[in-house]
Amino acid sequence: MKIVRIAFVLVLLAYLAPAHAADAQDRNDLSGYLISHGAIVMPYTLDSNRQMNAEAVLCSCEQRCSGVSLQYDLGDPDNNINDELKEKLSLTGNEKTLNKLYLGPLAPLSNLPISFKNRKGQGSYIGARWMEKLALWFNFGAQEVYGNVPSGVFEGYMKKSELHYRTIPLKTFDAYRYLTVSINGKKPVSFLIDTGAPRSLIDKNYAESLGFGVSEKQCLGVSSQAGETRSCVTHDVMSLKAENEPLSVYLPAGFIELDLNFVVPRLHIKGILGLDWLERNAAIMSLPENRLYVPNMY
């Protein structure tokens, strides 16, 4: 979900770089272990806006194909295609249905029409429903995506790994993934998991109800579906629990306070765990299993 585009941030550059806390050797072992069991490992890259990018090939119904860079956006159930790519594939009028989607070396999706939205001002990305169809896993500590992961293989890896992983079930609603979390010991609320959000967010009104303060020196201009606004950062999220499992809240850049009423209104979302949190905590997410695995590093 392209909720926030940061226009100006008064934070140290070092704060923006993710700290991959999982041991590098452990990450390499996981990739090798999965490959040895038939899984496919696909690195992802980050663009200048810290959006996850994958190399893909899209083919129109007329078999016109084009190599593209697609983002992974778990915060939107639907796919999206921008005007530049729409023109490149010679899609006319309101036609936004493609015939094939190749993602890395995975077998192509081609047995049913692949629909794309054409939202203005947004990039081209794969939404949550199609990531489900591809049965993807994400290793945010290693910046890798896994496909064709056999059932039970990751559990076998956890038994041999030196890291202890906490297993947290994800809740779903219309392809959205979210957690019920307790902040600072308060009543549990819903937090969305969003790979399309480079920064983690907390609802401004909810933060005010908890008496959170903000750092006026860390304010920024943001644009979202709610329009242009100025938001500040809070560092008052001191503890976070999901399913009674403690989660790290160490984000040097803090949580951005933003009105989140427009985000999945039926879920009453009070916060978003974005890519900064997922990478800093070296989380592993399984869409086929609807689970989040977080190494116990603190």
Confidence (pLDDT) at 108: 83
CATH architecture of structural domain 24-156: Beta Barrel (2.40)
Q: Is 182 in a helix, a strand, or coil?
A: strand
pLDDT tens series, the chain, 298 aa = 665 544 433 332 233 343 444 444 455 589 999 999 999 999 999 998 899 999 999 988 777 888 999 999 999 999 998 888 888 888 776 657 888 889 988 888 776 678 888 887 788 999 999 999 999 999 999 999 999 999 999 999 999 888 889 999 999 999 999 999 999 999 999 999 999 999 999 999 999 999 998 766 677 676 655 556 667 888 888 889 998 888 888 787 888 888 898 889 889 999 999 999 999 999 999 999 999 999 986 5
Cα 195 to Cα 50, 98, 163, 230, 245, distances in angstroms? 10, 24, 24, 22, 21
CA angle 151, 36, 144 (to 5 degrees): 75
| pLDDT tens-digit series, residues 120-135 | 778 899 999 999 999 9
Confidence (pLDDT) at 87: 85
Tell how far CA 44 is from the center of its chain: 12
Confidence (pLDDT) at 6: 44
Confidence (pLDDT) at 268: 93
Share of the chain above pLDDT 70, in %: 84
CATH superfamily of 5-22+164-295: Acid Proteases (2.40.70.10)
Encoded amino acid at 148, one letter: N
Residues of the chain with CATH 2.40.70.10: 5-22+164-295, 24-156
